Each structure stands twice: as C-alpha cells, then as structure tokens.
Structure 1
Amino acid sequence: MQSIVTSAEEAAAEEGQRVVATVPEPFLRGRDSADGDTGGNRGVESSLNSLLADVALDSINAKTALKADIGVMNAGGVRADLAAGEVTFADAYQVQPFGNPIGTVDMTGAQFIELLEQQWKPGQSRARLALGLSSNVTYIYDPAGEQGSRITRVLVNGTPIDPAATYRVAGNRFLLNEGDSFTAFGTQTGSNTFTDTGLMDVDLFISYLAANPNIAPRDQQTSVGVHLDGTAEDGSVAAGSAITVNLSSLSYTGGEPVPKNVTVTLGDEKVTVPVDNTIVAGNDETGRATATLTAPTGADALILHIETDSGTVAELPLTVTGGATGEPEPATPGSSSVLSSDIQKAASPLGNFAYILGGGSRPSSRCSSHG
C-alpha cells in the first residue's frame, strides 16, 4: 500500500513541476503596508484578482454557449501571487487551490450595483472585501457615502449600467452562491440560479495564461473614489463656484507601478496634482489626491474628467445651476451623476442614481438577450 502512495506522490510532484505557461510580468495581491505581505489586504483592488475575473468571463464566452457579460472573483479565493517567468501547474494551483467550478448567474443591473455596495462589510472582521471585476467594468464610488449608497456610477462596456436590464455574470461557484455574504447574487436568498459549467477554475486559468503569453496587469483601476466638496445637497454645482475633488483608489498596493500625478479637468480648466501612494490599510483608498477647480459659467452640464499618468481614466457627469440658461437643472437627490444632454433617469430600487444612455436602451445586445 505504501508503495502505491509513494508512486502517486511522485507522479503528482512531477506533474506539479510541468511548465504550463510563461508570463512576462508578475500579478500580485493587495497588502496593508509597503513592507507587508501581499495577500494581507483583501479590501483593495489587485492585479491578480482582476486577472482571474477576466479569466472567468473569457472562458465562459470561449468555451460555452452561455455568453456572459461580466466576470467576478473573490479576493479570498486568491491564495498566492503569480510571479513573472515560467508558470508550473503547481504555481497555478497555489493561486487557486480550492477546485471551484466556474459558472454563471443572471442578475439585474440593480442587483449588480447592490453587489458592489456589499464589498463594504461593517461589523465584520474585514471591513471590506474587494471583488475582482473583468476589464470591461469600471465604477466610481464616494468613500464618504453611507452604507449601501456609495456607488455613484457603473459602466459596462463603456455604457452606464441599466438597473432594469439583465446581465450574465461569470465566476466561481463559491462566490456566485453568495459566498462571503454577497447576497446580491440571489442564488440562496433570492430566485436567481447558478448555472454550473463543470469547468474547473485552475484548468481555465492555465488555458488562459497559455493563450495570452504577453499578458500584463491592466493599467486602468476598476474603481475610483470621488468625493466632492462644494456641491449642493442634491449633488449639483453652482456656476462660478469652487469645487474640491477628493480622489482615492488610484493605485495598486502589491508593488505594481503606481501613478505619480493625476490630472482633473472640468470645462476648460485643467489641474494636475501629485498622487499620495501611501498604503491605506483595510480598504481601497490607496492613491489619494485633491484638486480644486471652478465650475464654469455658460454650461448646464459638465463632465469631470480624471486621468492618471499610469493609465486610469474616470468620468463623472455633473449638473450645473445658474449655467448657460441661468435656470437650475436639478440633479437626482443623492447623486452628482447627471448629464442632462444625453441621459435620462432609470428607476432603481437602490435610489435614482443610475442612468442609461438616451431612450432607455440596454448596454449591449447580449444583455438584452438575457432579459
């Protein structure tokens, strides 16, 4: 019997050393301090967690007929960094050692917004658990917002999310079955259903790496924190008034390249300020900067444009009172995300802060096919 066990162990060790891919740059997890261990901070965006969300989305679309819209990954399921160079089977397995199958859940845009809100975990041992999201998803949040009301803008494929549309989300069984108290998936506490493909996470990870030999950590941060001082209670800005833009979540914490400066543009005014990359423990606030600009006269709607020198771009629509018409253009209560020229409100059980491009059209034909 012992000889059988020994033989199996030797075979497993040999298989573990088999090179399955090569990556030119490392993919890392989050940390709580500059000299801390990666993986210690699950509340921040990380290049490796984001990569695994891309793997889930790409794999579902390439290997099944389900055709998902969004990929997600839980930070707690990422157990080791991925070093640059040759990747063995053992390396890939150490990153994802739980043997989770990948599948999908259909959820509304409103449920997905709620899912993003559930990253903050008040009263739990970890104040925040960051979701890895596929590269076609970005969002803006207000760090000073109340629990359940922080998300101010979500884009899927460059289009504002539609709370009423249905989106197919790809990820591992643990997470999509409401793991880590992400109940917005609705597979245990609601009527949504997890569709299991039987495809295993580590196998898909290896296949993805092998098929993308030039892969590199994405430059674009998925989430950017924006808190505005100088706005009215309804979120609007007064023409000619000073607006202080407090930015956060502009940087990784694992050791990836970080921005030095961020440029903030409002109307014709452009301000470039340095980014403070001091790591903020426990949440996603690393990469902070503050800029003050003046809301121009002569416009009822503006875009606040944010761009770092490392590649992150975010835009937040604002309404202006006393602008071109001289008459107020009220913002939706609790939101500054109103661009009156080309968007209209969409009803949302989470509050009227979500908007869709003219006429209520869904973000993509793929989304509408699920509804």
Structure 2
Amino acid sequence: FKDVLEAQWQRDAEGNVPSRPYLALGFSDNVSYTYDANRDEGDRITGIYINNAPIDREKLYTFGSGSFLISGGDNFRTFADGVNSADAGLVDLTAWVDWIGEQDDLSPDYTKRGVSVTEQVSELQIGGTAGSFTLGEVVEDDPNPSTLDMFLNEGDKVSPQLANTSVTAFLGDVQVGTGAVADGVATISVAIPAGANVETGAQSLRFVVQESGTEVLVPLTVTAADSSDDGDDDDDNGKPGKRPGVPSTGV
C-alpha cells in the first residue's frame, strides 16, 4: 500500500522522471494518508489510515480500479505485483454513467484524501508544553498540489468556490488546538490541557479543516501529567508540607 502511494511521485520503467512527474491516485472516503514531499524519494508517505485506523503492515488489502491501472499502467507498477487479480466484467465508463444516473443530487467533494504534514511532534504531555504541526505546503514548481485547498490549474474553475479558513485539533472529543488557514497552509499549536480527559499512550491526533471538512490523522504518544506538581500541600510521605509564612513545628 505504501509503495503504491510512493509511486505517485513518478518514475518510468527506466528510472527517469516522466513528463508528468506526479499523478494523484483517487481513493474512497474511508482512506486517508499523510506525506512530506521534502523527505527522500520512497519515504514520503508518513501515515496511512483506513476507517480512521492505521493500516496493518501484515495484512493484504484489496484495491478496485480500472484494468489499466491495476495492471501497472501510468507507472504504478506496484499494482502489477498484486495477487488474486479478478475482472469484475464491468466497463468503467458504463459504471460511471450508471452511478451518475442513480444520484438524486450531486455536489463537489472538497475533502482531500492525502494531506501534507511537514512539521509535527511525536509526543505531548497532559498539561505540558505545546507542540507545533504544519498542514499543507506551498512549494514553487512542486508537481504535487500540497496545499489544503482544492488545486486548480490556471484558468480552471470550480463551482461553488471554497476557501478553507481554519483547522481545529482534537484528541478524542477534547479540543487541543486551532489555527488559521492562509494560502492553503495552517500551523497549529497543540497543547493538552491539565486535567483533560484523554487516554495516555499511542493515540491519533485528529485535525478538522474548515470549510472543506477534510480530516487529517497524525500519530501521537500522550504521556501522563507530571505527578510531582499535584497542587496539594502534602510532602512525598503524605504529611502536611511547610506552608509559606508558617514556621515548622517539627512534626
């Protein structure tokens, strides 16, 4: 799965970058992934999620697509390495036209399946220091549209127009940060409030982009609050501690 996604940054069979250096794959709405185009080739995909859970690297996953792509077309040769291929007997154009005819109403989907995350921390403490996350990136001459906004070639139009305005971060149902979107990029300061009802250990930090509704999942380890500052006046042995301005009785 990861190799398939890495192949969006294209190489032909001879190892050359083709005239179209990036081809984005489309996925169903239960799939999302993160990437950092600044990383080395072959190591740009940083997370893959299905139904809001990280993929299992030991499992096999079944893809459905047109026969051209599944057979390794458009330089997605990893597809050709798959097993148990089967032909559904459907013609893609016919299936598409039939689906259109079955819909009562159609509107654009502005959510992005793949989102650039170029800055992130791996661990946060409850009640501890905030960490910074950057979603989206503007890279000059980048073949991949890495901003949070829908990418449009010059002169293209989409209706209705949509501009993202903000990103909110959640751990479970607890809001832990928010940030504005500017030019399709947002940097969010995330901090877990002291006393927040969040689980410790490996978690998924969830970012929700407004107005598109894009959701981005990033792995995060949550550690417990510092127990050395529990706010009471007892010493480590459970005895009352010395209070400011009150002389010790020696008890």
Q: Aligning the two structures, in what range does the TM-score lie when normalised by the shorter sequence? A: 0.5 to 0.7
1:154 is matched with which residue: 28, 48, 63? Answer: 48
Alpha carbons 1:300, 1:325 under 8 Å: kept: no
2:241 aligned partner: none
Paired residues of 2:176 and 2:191 also in contact (CA < 8 A) = no
In the alignment, what sits opposite 1:273?
179
Structure 1 segment 98-177 matched on structure 2, within 5 A: 112-121=1-10, 123-177=17-71
For 2:19 and 2:226, the matched residues in 1 are separated by 51
- CA change 1:243–1:143 in 2 (3 A) is farther
- Code of the residue aligned with 1:245 in structure 2: it is F
Q: CA deviation at 1:222?
A: 1.0
Specify which structure has the higher proportion of helix.
1
| Distance in structure 1 (CA, Å) of the matches to 2:82 and 2:180 | 47
Q: CA deviation at 1:237?
A: 4.6
Letter in 1 for 2:134: N
Name the aligned partner's letter for residue 41 of structure 2.
Answer: Q
SS at match of 2:93: helix
- Return the structure number with greater relative CO, CA threshold 8 A, min gap 6: 1
With over 3 angstroms needed to count, the CA separation of the structure-2 counterparts of 1:182 and 1:297, relative to structure 1, is: farther
* Equivalent in the alignment of 2:135: 247
Instruction: Give the one of 261, 274, 288 matched to 2:185.
Output: 288
Structure 2 letter corresponding to 1:171: S
Aligned to 2:216: 314
TM-score, normalised to structure 2, is 0.67
2:73 aligned to which of 162, 165, 179: 179
Separation in structure 1 between the aligned mates of residue 71 and residue 78 of structure 2, nearest angstrom: 10
Deviations 1:291-323 (Å, cap 9, x if unpaired)?
Answer: 2234566755554221112211223231146x4
1:221 and 2:221 correspond: no
Counterpart residue identity of residue 189, structure 2: T
Q: Which has the larger radius of gyration?
A: 2
Deviation at 1:167, TM superposition (A): 2.2
For residues 201 and 95 of structure 2, the distance between their equivalents in structure 1, rounded to whole angstroms, comes to: 49
Give the superposition deviation at 1:218.
2.4
1:58-113 deviation line (CA, Å, top 9, x unaligned)? xxxxxxxxxxxxxxxxxxxxxxxxxxxxxxxxxxxxxxxxxxxxxxxxxxxxxx22
* Superposed displacement of residue 205, structure 1: 0.9
Q: How many residues align?
A: 198
Does the CA contact (< 8 Å) of 1:243 and 1:295 recur in 2? no
Describe the shift of the 1:292–1:266 C-alpha distance in structure 2 as closer, same or farther (beyond 3 A): farther
Q: Distance in 1 between matches of 2:222 and 2:38?
A: 22
CA drift at 1:200: 1.3
Rounded Cα–Cα distance in structure 2 between residues aligned with 1:291 and 1:120? 27
Identity of aligned residues (%): 32
CA distance in 2, matches of 1:302, 1:154: 14
**Which range is displaced more, 144-153 or 129-138?**
144-153
User: Structure 1 unaligned runs (5+)?
Assistant: 1-111, 278-286, 327-371
Q: What is the SS of the residue equivalent to 1:133? A: coil
User: Is the CA contact 1:242–1:295 (under 8 Å) kept in the aligned structure 2?
Assistant: yes
Higher deviation after alignment, 294-303 or 138-147: 294-303
Is 1:266–1:293's contact at 8 Å kept on the other side of the alignment?
Answer: no
* Root mean square deviation of aligned Cα: 2.9
